[in-house]
Amino acid sequence: NNSNIGGKRSIVKLTDEMINECYIKGKECYENGTADYLKISQEISEKTGMNSRSAYMYLMAVKSMIAGEPFKRAISNRATEKYFEYIRRDYGITGLKKALDCVKKHVEYRKSCGLIADGLENLCSKVEATL
């Protein structure tokens, strides 16, 4: 999560507030059919300090997980774990299974690009064990 402050790029630590706000807004967008993710990502950025491009990726990941559609841009394992929890709470086991399938496809995509996805694989195994 990078931010451009005074012409210099700085790293902004991903906070629970950022993760939560992306879930809340991503869920609202999915349920309402809202498609203005760029505007919403800017609002998240202004509210939480999260880089708007990062907020956009997280919003899209939330939408994809709820819809059960694969996504390609990586989000943190911590956020993925929280999103699994929230989806289970909000959409039940059926929703969790869709999200799990989505993340497994994301893992396969990452591997096909030669990227490591051990943390996500372990997380998927952990979630699968709860089903």
Residue range 17-60, pLDDT digits in tens? 999 999 999 999 899 887 789 999 999 999 999 999 999 999 99
Beta bridge partners of 4: 9
- Token pair for residue 2? 């990078």
* Predicted pLDDT of residue 2: 47
Question: Residue 34 to residues 60, 77, 89, 93: CA-CA distances in angstroms?
Answer: 12, 26, 22, 25
Q: How confident is the model at residue 1 (pLDDT cuts 50, 70, 90)?
A: low
Question: How far, in whole angstroms, is CA 41 from its chain's centroid?
Answer: 12
pLDDT tens digits along 57-93: 999 999 999 999 988 999 999 999 999 999 999 999 9
Strand pairing category for 8-11 and 2-5:
antiparallel
Give residue 5's identity as a one-letter amino acid code.
I
Q: Are 50 and 12 within 8 A, CB to CB? A: yes
**pTM of the full predicted structure?**
0.88
Phi-psi region of 51 (alpha: psi -120 to 50; beta: other; left: phi over 0): beta
Average pLDDT over residues 10-15: 77
Task: Tell me which residue of 99, 93, 117 sits closest to 23, measured CA to CA.
Answer: 99
Does residue 9 register a pLDDT over 90?
Answer: no
Give the residue carrying structure tokens 């950022």. 18
